Amino acid sequence: MAEHTVKAFDEDITRLRGLIAEMGGLAEVAIAESLDALVRGDEALADQVVARDKRMDALEIEVDKLAVRIIALRAPMADDLREVIAALKIAGVLERIGDYSKNIAKRTGMIEGRSRFEPLTLLPAMGELAGEMVHDVLTAYAARDPDLAREVIATDVKVDGFYNSIFRNLVSYMVENPSTISSAAQLLFVARNIERIGDHATNVAEMVHFAATGAYPPEGDR
Amino acid sequence: MTVIHPNMADENAKIRARDVCVYYGDKKAIDDVSIDISPNYVTAFIGPSGCGKSTFLRCFNRMNDTIGAAKVTGLIELDGEDIHGSRMDVVQLRARVGMVFQKPNPFPKSIYENIAYGPKIHGLAEKKADLDVVVERSLTRAGLWDEVKDRLEDSGTALSGGQQQRLCIARAIAVDPEVILMDEPASALDPIATAKIEELIDDLSGRYAIVIVTHSMQQAARVSQRTAFFHLGKMVEYGPTSEIFTNPIEERTKDYITGRYG
């Protein structure tokens, strides 16, 4: 894309994109590490995930401030305007994804009898898929690539599939052995959180598509 | 190539221009421009300096006639009537298609006379009482009445710049035009006076077809419903203002409005 006549405008936009990229990187790591901590019962790692979420919150505030400043001082138009608005919304969504990961990490100490739960082997795979969605959607954002954004949207059904199968699995544990109810309920929330992360990645993909093309993806995609 | 957004053609167009070219001597200042100007909208012409937007605006009331070396070809119709036709009286045309310029240019006469002059020479009002009505109505519509009603005999040139510009708009309105052309009407004014002019444009739209040339894209975005982007004498893109400023089709339009031009 051609440069702006006013160089400082380009610098602002580059900085905004950098902040979003950093938030995306943190979100990816948080998803992977929170599940790693949960599965292995590693409370130290879980604490790290929780602590690092503060950085995420600070970044969101930074994006908000910068976006407002760009709108006020540079009066962006057309794709610049869409880009800034999308960044504003994407930052909010990434922060939310961070919260879900934090929430998963916090459940680490609440699971008993890890070896009994088959879903514990499924959750990391589900988390990996959701993490990939986050990774790909940020690649699409960086490259302003609407096609990749649509691929991300298409991936969400797989995450939903995981959720449904884990849900059934956990319910059957609870039915067969009521002593597992407490831990299984915790894992149910974890699965639910990952499912929500997939939904949020889908939302980001829609915004990336909008920023790049000026239109939301066709209804069939969503 | 001109990109025209869907639904921009208007059967009831106030002004219809077809294949208009304007030459200054050998130089082609406007190259084959066709456009429909709707009566119900404010239409903005934007583009870099020298792109031809003012030249094109001046075609609508034949202001280019006053420039010896200028030649206009193509068809321009006002309500379906060829404005270059033999039956078109140019003085009458300029009453129907009024104009407001960049620098306020009140007559060096009283505020009252500035407004009353046009209606008098066009025979729209003869008696003093009728003229009083026209003067009050015009000044009210231009948002100036309350500020000047007690000093109508003061000179128009004694007003502030913003007031002078509204006086010029009131003067244009006084002869009951159908179209008002504005060439950078607020570029010499401070932000408050500018806001008053923009508010006035908003008030007047619907009653008059308004075409405004402006260098301020924010202003075009604020006051217009239709925007045409000109570049190097050609109309590059014409569409709803909301589309032009959020999702333009042409790369050149996008580069210009996002500040990447040149």
CA distance A15 to chain B (A): 18
More confident residue, A135 or B124: A135
pLDDT, tens digit, for every residue of B226-252?
999 999 999 999 999 999 999 999 999
CA distance linking residue B235 with residue B41, whole number of Å: 19
Which region, left, alpha or beta, applies to residue A190 given φ > 0 means left and ψ of -120 to 50 means alpha? alpha
Single-letter code of the amino acid located at A134? V
CB A200 within 8 A of CB A97: yes
pLDDT, tens digit, for every residue of B131-147?
999 999 999 989 899 99
CA distance linking residue B98 with residue B138, whole number of Å: 13
Rounded to two decimals, the pTM is 0.82
Q: How much is the pLDDT for A221?
A: 64
Interface of B with A in 193-232 (CB under 8 A): 217-218, 221
> How much of chain B, in percent, has pLDDT values that exceed 70?
100
Interface of B with A in 170-189 (CB under 8 A): none
Q: Do B246 and A4 touch (CB under 8 A)?
A: no
SS3 A144: coil
Structure tokens at B118: 């046009």
CB B231 within 8 A of CB A50: no
Q: Do B248 and A78 touch (CB under 8 A)?
A: yes
Single-letter code of the amino acid located at B113? E
> How much of chain A, in percent, has pLDDT values that exceed 70?
98
CA distance linking residue B83 with residue B213, whole number of Å: 21
- B248 → chain A, closest CA residue: A78
| Helices A7-40 & A78-106 angle (0-180, nearest 10) | 20
According to DSSP, the β-strands at B97-100 and B179-183 are parallel
pLDDT, tens digit, for every residue of A97-112?
999 999 999 999 898 8
**List of residues 6+ apart from A51 with CB closer than 8 A:** none
CB A204 within 8 A of CB A93: yes
Residues on chain B touching A78 (C-beta within 8 angstroms): 245-248, 254, 257-258
Q: How much is the pLDDT for B262?
A: 53
- A80 → chain B, closest CA residue: B258
DSSP A107: T
Single-letter code of the amino acid located at A6? V
Torsion sign over Cα B164, B165, B166, B169 = positive
Residues on chain A touching B255 (C-beta within 8 angstroms): 2
What average pLDDT does the structure give for chain B? 93
CA distance linking residue A67 with residue A48, whole number of Å: 29
**Sequential DSSP letters for chain B:** --EE-TT---TT-SEEEEEEEEEETTEEEEEEEEEEE-TTSEEEEE-STTSSHHHHHHHTTTGGGGSTTEEEEEEEEETTEETTSTT--HHHHHHHEEEE-SS----SSBHHHHHHHHHHHTTS--SHHHHHHHHHHHHHHTT-HHHHTT-TTSBGGGS-HHHHHHHHHHHHHHT--SEEEEESTTTTS-HHHHHHHHHHHHHHBTTBEEEEE-S-HHHHHHH-SEEEEEETTEEEEEEEHHHHHHS-SSHHHHHHHTT---
B242 to chain A, any CB pair closer than 8 A? The answer is no
pLDDT, tens digit, for every residue of A24-46?
999 999 999 999 999 999 999 99
Q: Do A78 and B258 touch (CB under 8 A)?
A: yes
B245 to chain A, any CB pair closer than 8 A? The answer is yes
Q: Average pLDDT, stretch B150-164?
A: 94
CA distances from B94 to A20, B171, B245 (A): 56, 12, 32
pLDDT, tens digit, for every residue of A156-173?
999 999 999 999 999 999
Which region, left, alpha or beta, applies to residue A73 given φ > 0 means left and ψ of -120 to 50 means alpha? alpha
Interface test with B, best of A3, A4, A77 (most B CBs within 10 A): A77
**List of residues 6+ apart from A146 with CB closer than 8 A:** A140, A208, A209, A212, A213, A217
**List of residues 6+ apart from B218 with CB closer than 8 A:** A75
Q: Is the pLDDT of residue A116 over 80?
A: no
CA distance linking residue B179 with residue B57, whole number of Å: 11
**Chain A residues with CB-CB distance to B under 8 A?**
1-6, 9, 74-82, 214-215
- Give Dmax (Cα) for chain A: 69
